Copies of this chain bind each other. A is one copy, B any other.
Amino acid sequence: MEKNQYSIFESELAVRPDDIDMFNHVHNSKYLDYVLAARYEQMDKHYGMSWEKFTELGYGWVVTKVSIHFKRPLLMGDAMLIKTGILEMSEKGCTVQFEITNKKTGKIASDGTFEYTMIDLHTKRACKVTDEMIKAYSI
């Protein structure tokens, strides 16, 4: 992962049997769900401004772009470490890098980037990220 001024946080997650597909490995689209699960946990635990806090304020984060590389398949029974960190954050949104490592082998299963925009939950339209939010996430 790229080292920069932003912190990198780590979450742990286990493959759920319903994530397995016809190839007997984790289905490709589930990796996006794993990254969401990690960010969700880290928003609360590390940034001190949880998903629920944004919801209360009337905001939500939606994904606008994903670039993902599937390197080594995760299998039934595997556990993973999911590192994520901010690459860029501005009033327009933020870009997050991630890396999913197989806990057993220590090898990278998948990595890539997510771009997020903040939306107003009522209008469902993109809106500006406030200075306070940028500050909370600039750690």
Q: How many residues of A contact B (CB 8 A)?
A: 38
* Given A51-B76, A52-B77, residue A22 in contact with residue B28 (CB < 8 A): no
Is A69 interfacial (CB 8 A cutoff)?
yes
Which of A20, A66, A67, A76 is most buried by chain B, counting CB atoms within 10 A of its CB? A66
Interface of A is mostly: mixed
A17-B37, A28-B63, A29-B32 known; 10 new pairs, CB 8 Å cut-off, are A16-B16, A17-B33, A17-B36, A18-B33, A21-B21, A23-B121, A52-B76, A52-B77, A65-B67, A67-B68
A: residues with CB less than 8 A from B are 16-18, 20-25, 27-30, 32-33, 36-37, 40, 44, 51-52, 60, 62-71, 73, 76-77, 119, 121, 124
